[in-house]
Structure 1
Amino acid sequence: MMDATSPVAPAEAPARQLAPSPTVDVGPPAAWPTLDGIRAAADLLRDRIVRTPLLPARKLSDLTGAEVFVKYENLQVTSAFKERGALVKLMSLDAARRQRGVIAMSAGNHAQAVAYHAARLGIPAVIVMPEPTPFVKVAATRAYGARVVLAGETVAEAQVEAERISRAEGYSWVHPYDDAEVIRGQGTVALEMLADEPDLETLLVPVGGGGLISGIAIAAKALKPGIEIVGVETELYPSLIAARAGTQAICGGNTLAEGIAVKNVGVLPLAITRALVDDVVAVSESHIERAVNAFLTIQKTAAEGAGAAGLAALIADPARFAGRKVGVVLTGGNIDPRILAAIMVRELTRADRIVSIRVTVPDRPGTLAELSGIIGGTGGNILEVSHHRFFLEVPAKGARVDITIETRDRAHLDEIIDALNARGFIAARVAAAESRM
């Protein structure tokens, strides 16, 4: 469940409740995308997208106990893997359909991928986005040359409008994941990973609608049948876990991983993942948060919540993957800088690097200077001071001072508190929730 203090996606990024593509044809396995089809997609993509690196992550390996390799899809032009499937789909259209144009529905990475590559191919593109979509995402999509239509409060409502426009104006539909051409494009991720590191034993793949993990599973299992494919969902949206079990998913809540907050997986991805994916796990918001922070502070790279889900699974259950060569797909890096900054501060708090202490002091001149001298003398760095005289629990001739300080670790914090108490003050750590009151 979500940690009560976890940062959440902004209210304007609603969970996605997508229906299958109007044109999806699941068919028998023989009709699914194949390894040859994915290889052909790789040929189409060559020199048209970034061939992202798969690099060993020694510090993440030390953190988790697995031998970790990271696939940096956040290095694509639009900072997410979605470009692969979008471009393959667009290039599959004949001249007439290209001339009429395409339509897609998305509040994030898929929108930008379709808009960017449609513009490069000279294809008119309409992107339907929910009305509460953050302006920065709307502006980025428009900047790529797409016509943006704002409709509905949720992505599900935006999809209804996109389908109406498609029927009325003859646009070709580009579904985010429930499309064989899109799945072919996403499968090229696995080709590159196994080309760079053939000895990988497990692939950890974030799961929203299921297009990425479907393509990866087809390619990876064909190249290396014994490889383990593990999907990762957020606990708040365990859609694929429930679908594979034949039960109704209980979904809802604000999540840091809004990119995989999908209530209904695709029809075609569900069929493929049931056959080829070994396991799907769900991770908590706090583990996703830790993974985002680890990518930033350890690997020095930005990961959005959904993009960090694979690493979150390693952090949540290191024993399950210990000693294995694990490929982690960092699917995207489009994260709100404000949320990213909040995560960094929260992780410093968890590590006792930023801490609030409460000191009861006599109300006399020079007290704050004395407190500052003691804290500074022990190597602490004062970040914020809040001085209270009128709380009833404070003595009439006293005051309460809440001080936020930067420390080296818990032992350093204890040293500071002991130094304050030794000088006659009454000092104690303040719980994180209480310090915000």
Structure 2
Amino acid sequence: MADMLTLEAFEEASEKVKEVTLETKLVESPYLCAATGNRVWLKPENMQRTGAYKLRGAYYKISKLSQDELDRGVITASAGNHAQGVAYAATHAGARSIVVMPTTTPLIKVERTKGYGAEVILHGDVFDEAGEYAQKLAEEQGLTYIPPFNDETVATGQGTIGMEIVQELPLVDTILVPVGGGGLSCGIATFAKLYNPKIRVIGVEPAGAPSLTAALEAGHAVKLPSANTIADGTAVLEVGDRVLPYLKENLDDVLLVEDDELVVSFLDMVENHKMIVENSGLLSVAAAKQLPADGRRVACVLSGGNMDVITMSSVVQYGLIQRSRVFTVSVLLPDRPGSLVRVASVIAEHNGNVIKLKHNQFVTTNRNAAVELRVTIEAYGPEHRQEIIDALSEAGFNPELPSFREAN
């Protein structure tokens, strides 16, 4: 659309979305400043109403509909943040909304979407199947389909984040933006270049779903054979073809982040900022550590914070293991009274905290010769872990480190 993705449109969208959004002021991160050698601010859209930035684009898109289109209602397909954004925006505009979600969508997301006023239909095992069904219903019932990212009006709404960043931090050098389908990065990058071409905008993709990287290499949108990443909100097989030209023109670079880096970043956010940020929203934080340490002013967009408790628990556990703050050792010892106490005493003397024990008497046919003891220990970090392992070795227990799968 020719009248979208202009400074005038961004200004209009910025005023419009204020009707439903919360103010998410930049938060400077002393931890990331020290870790990266730059000045780093966080744009906490995880604290946004509905828990993600998606409300911006959905509301601006719906605000541009005619009264007739509003009366007929809107429809979309989503398994998460976009679903809640459309549901909230439609209800606020007094319009009926239908959201088609895959049957695999967690119940909490289904209930939240319903809670914002949408009628939820579960269809298909994956997003693509839900999307096709939503398009079919839109044609049959005369509903307006609200795209999650491949739409200039939606991208303009998302770009209001960029306007807010420069209003608070006029001298920003670099903006890091998570990339899935490309709507968020399109909006922010296009606004930034119109406002000040010197601002570098860098897209960040999960290494397991690099749809934009593939498109830039091919020169056109291509469909990945699969997407394998814990950053489910950005696990998009194909970047939007309508936003891709803007990304080619306005995005300065694209960085890739491995899942292991997201796990560590989640722990960093929880411990240093007391914030829950979903894996996709952490892409910008993880990528900040890839930038040159030259004192630049960096804004990281935290795109969302909708994460279920089970996933949180798993990510925290893996994060602690990666940081060597939880580890498991396997030792062989005689099946005699006092053996377990000796092991526990060595660990206690070196300030290790035992959090789990597994005693296997059947590791050999001769129990008197040896039984296996697996001890899961909490430590301060890599050096403390090694200190405990060395102490167990010196005490004659010959500790081994089983794999995580074996240990659990």
TM bin, normalised by shorter chain, reads over 0.9
Pick the aligned partner of 1:173 from 128, 136, 145. 145
> Quick check: 1:206 aligned with 2:178?
yes
Aligned to 2:228: 254
Match for residue 374 of structure 2 among 378, 395, 402: 402
Partner of 2:298: 326
Aligned: 1:343 with 2:315:
yes
The equivalent residue for 1:3 is: none
Q: State the TM-score, normalized to the length of structure 2.
A: 0.94
User: Does the 8 Å CA contact 1:210/1:270 hold for their aligned counterparts?
Assistant: yes
SS at match of 1:103: strand
- Give the C-alpha shift of residue 88 in structure 1: 0.6
Q: Structure 2 counterpart of 1:80, which letter?
A: A
1:353 corresponds to 2:325: yes
Match of 2:207 in 1: 235
Structure 1 residue 399: Cα displacement? 1.4
State how far apart, in whole Å, the 1-side matches of 2:225 and 2:282 are.
20
Contact 1:237/1:249 (<8 A) preserved? no
List structure 1 runs of 4+ shifted beyond 6 angstroms.
Answer: none
Distance 1:91 1:414 in 2: 59
Q: 1:251 to 1:193 in 2, by over 3 A?
A: farther
Query: What is residue 17 of structure 1 aligned with on the other side?
Result: none
The 3 A distance-change label for structure 1 pair 202 and 371 is same
Q: Deviations over 1:31-53 (max 9, x none)?
A: 54201101001111224211211
Aligned equivalent of 2:9: 37
Hey, what's the Cα distance between the residues in 2 that align with 1:167 and 1:39?
Answer: 32
Q: In structure 1, how many angstroms separate the alpha carbons of the residues matched to 2:260 and 2:141?
A: 45
**1:32, 1:251 → 2: CA distance?**
32
Following superposition, the deviation at residue 202 of structure 1 comes to 0.7
Q: Secondary structure at the match of 2:278?
A: coil
Tell me how far apart the structure 1 counterparts of residues 239 and 190 of structure 2 sit (CA, whole Å): 17
* Correspondence for 1:265 among 239, 244, 260: 239
SS at 2:273's partner residue?
Answer: coil
Answering whether residue 265 of structure 2 is matched by residue 281 of structure 1, we say: no
Q: Aligned letter for 1:97? A: E
Q: Does 1:426 align with 2:397?
A: yes
- Structure 1 residue 422 displacement after superposition: 4.2
Give 3-state SS (helix, strand or coil) of 1:110's partner: helix
2:271 pairs with one of 297, 304, 324:
297
| Runs of 5+ consecutive residues of structure 2 not aligned to the other structure | none
Cα distance change on mapping 1:183 and 1:140 into 2, 3 Å: same
* 1:17-68 Cα distance to aligned partner (Å, 9 max, x none): xxxxxxxx5xxxx554201101001111224211211121111111122211
Q: Which amino acid aligns with 2:259?
A: E
Q: What is the alpha-carbon distance in structure 1 between the residues aligned to residue 150 and residue 77 of structure 2?
A: 12
Could you say if the C-alpha distance between residues 378 and 158 of structure 1 is closer, same or farther in structure 2, counting changes exceeding 3 Å? same
Amino acid at match of 1:213: S
Post-superposition CA distance 1:314-338 (Å, at most 9, x none)? 23x243x542211100000011222
Matches within 5 A, 1:186-201: 186-201=158-173
Where relative contact order (Cα < 8 A, 6+ residues apart) is larger, the structure is: 1
The 3 A distance-change label for structure 1 pair 207 and 393 is farther
Choose the corresponding residue for 2:38, options 47, 66, 70.
Answer: 66
> What residue in structure 2 maps to residue 57 of structure 1?
29
CA contact (8 A) 2:208 2:229 kept: yes
Q: 1:416 to 1:252 in 2, by over 3 A?
A: same
Residues 227, 235 of structure 2: 8 Å contact kept: no
Aligned residues: 406
Which of 55, 77, 84 lines up with 1:83 in the alignment?
A: 55
- Which of 278, 281, 286 lines up with 1:312 in the alignment? 286
Structure 1 residue 249: deviation in Å?
A: 5.4
Cα offsets for 1:389-411 (capped at 9, x unmatched): 21138764321211111122333
User: CA separation in 2, counterparts of 1:393 and 1:68?
Assistant: 59
Q: Which residue of 1 aligns with 2:91?
A: 119
Match of 1:12 in 2: none
Amino acid of the structure 2 residue aligned with 1:252: S
Contact 2:227 2:236 in 1 (8 A): no
The 3-state SS of whatever aligns with 1:233 is: strand
1:238–1:249 Cα contact (<8 Å) kept: no
Q: Does 1:412 pair with 2:381? A: no
Q: Within 5 Å, which residues of 2 pair with 1:355-374?
A: 355-374=327-346
2 CA distance for matches of 1:31 and 1:267? 18
Decide which of 155, 159, 162 is 2:127's aligned counterpart: 155
Counterpart for residue 111 of structure 2 = 139
Percent of pairs identical after alignment? 35
TM-score by length of 1: 0.88
Instruction: Give the whole-Å Cα distance in 1 for the aligned partners of 2:339 and 2:3.
Output: 78
Structural mapping, 1:10-25, within 5 Å: none
| RMSD of aligned alpha carbons | 1.9
Inter-partner Cα distance in structure 2 for 1:368 and 1:65: 47
Partners of 1:267 and 1:354 in 2: how far apart? 45
2:280 alignment partner, SS class = coil
Confirm or deny: 8 A CA contact 1:239 1:251 kept in the other structure.
no
Q: Does 192-201 or 373-382 show the bigger shift?
A: 373-382
Q: Secondary structure at the match of 1:358?
A: strand
What is the match of residue 154 of structure 2?
182
Structure 1 residue runs without a partner (length 5+): 1-24
Q: Deviations over 1:208-260 (max 9, x none)?
A: 11111111112111111111111111111111112122264544243111101
